[in-house]
Amino acid sequence: MANTRTFKGGVHPHETGNGKQSTNAQPVIDAKVPACVVIPLSQHIGAPCKCVVTPGQAVAMGQVIGEAGGFVSAPVHASVSGTVKAISSCVVASGQRVPAVVIENDFQDRWDENVKPRQNVGSLDAKQLLEIVRDRGIVGLGGATFPTAVKLAPPAEKHVDTLILNGAECEPYLTSDHRLMVEHAAEVIDGMLLEAKILNATKLLIGIEDNKPDAVAAMRQAAEGKNIEVVALPTRYPQGGEKQLIFALTGRRVPNGALPADVQTVVSNVSTAYAVSKAVRENRPLIDRVVTVAGRVKKPANLRARIGTPIYELVEACGGLEDGVRKVVLGGPMMGMAISSLDIPVTKSTGGLLALGEEGVHAQESPCIRCGRCVEACPMRLVPTRIDAYARRSQWEECSKLGTMNCMECGACTFVCPAKRELTQSCRMAKMGIRASAKKS
């Protein structure tokens, strides 16, 4: 199938204050490790972890503190060495309170004895590699945090032949994937080849938006001779949407309600591939990640932060907030979650920390003028304005008929709406309403 190289719809939030240039040329630096980390036991999609430590217990860095609570789950590891202070709870980005392990840091960074370079990587088979990915707590780092080991083990009858690495990083402001590709291209490629071995995929593609020419160049160099195609894609949000990326790179359309595996494809984020490489080569669990701190902070930066580091520590590391910050977002500005306080830990899903001023606080809604911009922008080819009208009347059945369940909540419709209507929020509401009424009947 022909490479179509793009998708229909989409918007250009980069043209209105992109924000990437504040951090895209800065090397990733290690964030100061805090005296105390708070590690939530549910940092992934799926069953929460079972806590396996007790207060007062000494833990090593990389030691398992929460065991996977089911098949679709991922273990959680200590991100510092020290003493378990408490098993309590904390608020995460979604606003929910989840169980968490509080560890007092002894600043020794004493690694767990299991974490050491692995010699026989070449001789490991797919099953053994998959076990490492599962055991090391790797989850999708693009934001959804789906357990990678589950993703890499699709049912055999799906015949997955294609692995796509997502390096699009289409969210404005965020540059953590960008920096990772520039600085650690070899490890990313290594991780991709390991993932490909697990999947037995033969067609390997990497999609990167063309606003990152240095990342494209670095990845092409690292991928040389490895039968991997690195593709520069047009810069358009949401180029990194899973279905959009698959379509752009392979021409395959993921049917509604189906998974990428149904079109013989698996998509993995570049930082996930990096984590897979580290897990396999060094047996290193996922205990840190790169966070882009940008927007209205004094010194925007890309920080490698330990999981469990409180957000306010990252803000301090970047010189503090500027005056007039009205909103703080975890993740990107298009799909990230606004948080009410900075006392929230970094989790496996925290790719960005964004401070916004008045521009992030929404303007008053006005009536729809039926301009059709949302229809043009929707990458799923929905009609957001009609979904909005029905959702506000709680007419879930009509919403369902309009294909609302296919909405991926990318925010493109709300972004372009001249009447400043909360179209994405209406779609979210409608999805919840449709699910609730399906349960009832």
Partner 1 sequence: MQKQYTVSSSPHLRDNVSTRRVMQDVCIALIPAGLASIWFFGLRAAILIAVSVLSAVFCEWFYCKHAKKPIPVGDFSAVVTGLLLAYNLPASAPWWLAAIGSAIAIVLVKQFFGGIGQNFMNPALAARAILLASWATLMTAWVAPQGGNWLAGLTPAATDVVSGATPLQAEAGAYSLWDLFIGNCPGTLGETSALALLIGAAYLLFRRVINWRIPATFLGTCLILFWIQTGTFYSAEAGANSALYQLLSGGLMLGALFMATDYSSSPVTPWGQIIFGVGCGALLFIIRTFNSSMPEGCSYAILFMNVAAPLIERVTTPKSFGEVKSHA
| Residues in 65-104 that interact with partner 1 by CB under 8 A | 95
Examine residue 116 and tell whether it contacts partner 1 (CB under 8 A). no
Examine residue 373 and tell whether it contacts partner 1 (CB under 8 A). yes
How near is the Cβ of 252 to partner 1 at its closest, in Å?
Answer: 10
Build a one-symbol-per-residue string for 192-231: x at contacts with partner 1 by CB under 8 A, - elsewhere: ----------------------------------------
Judge contact between 148 and 140, C-beta under 8 A. yes
Q: Is 110 exposed, middle or buried (0-12, 13-18, 19+ CB in 10 A)?
A: middle
Binder of partner 1 out of 46, 66, 333, 352 (CB under 8 A): 333
Residue 266: its H or E element: strand 265-269
How near is the Cβ of 354 to partner 1 at its closest, in Å?
Answer: 8
Tokens 């009347």 locate to 393
Q: How far apart are CA 125 and CA 292, in angstroms?
A: 35
Q: How far apart are CA 322 and CA 150, in angstroms?
A: 42
How near is the Cβ of 269 to partner 1 at its closest, in Å?
Answer: 19
Q: Which is nearer to partner 1, 11 or 222 (CB)?
A: 11
- Reported residue count of the chain is 441
Build a one-symbol-per-residue string for 15-44: x at contacts with partner 1 by CB under 8 A, - elsewhere: -xx---------------------------
Build a one-symbol-per-residue string for 129-168: x at contacts with partner 1 by CB under 8 A, - elsewhere: ----------------------------------------
How near is the Cβ of 250 to partner 1 at its closest, in Å?
Answer: 14
The interface region with partner 1, picked from 62-70, 99-107, 140-148, 251-259 by CB under 8 A, is 251-259
Examine residue 381 and tell whether it contacts partner 1 (CB under 8 A). yes
Amino acid at 13: P
The token duo for 311 is 């957000």
Judge contact between 75 and 137, C-beta under 8 A. yes
Residue 279: its H or E element: helix 270-282
Amino acid at 96: Q
Write the Ramachandran bin of 385: left for phi over 0, alpha for psi from -120 to 50, otherwise beta: alpha
Write the Ramachandran bin of 256: left for phi over 0, alpha for psi from -120 to 50, otherwise beta: beta
Interacting positions 388-427 with partner 1 (CB under 8 A): 402-403, 406, 409, 411-412, 414-420, 422, 424-425
The token duo for 192 is 């991709």
Judge contact between 11 and 237, C-beta under 8 A. yes
Q: How many chain residues touch partner 1 (CB under 8 A)?
A: 74
Q: Which is nearer to partner 1, 396 or 415 (CB)?
A: 415
Q: Which is nearer to partner 1, 98 or 342 (CB)?
A: 342
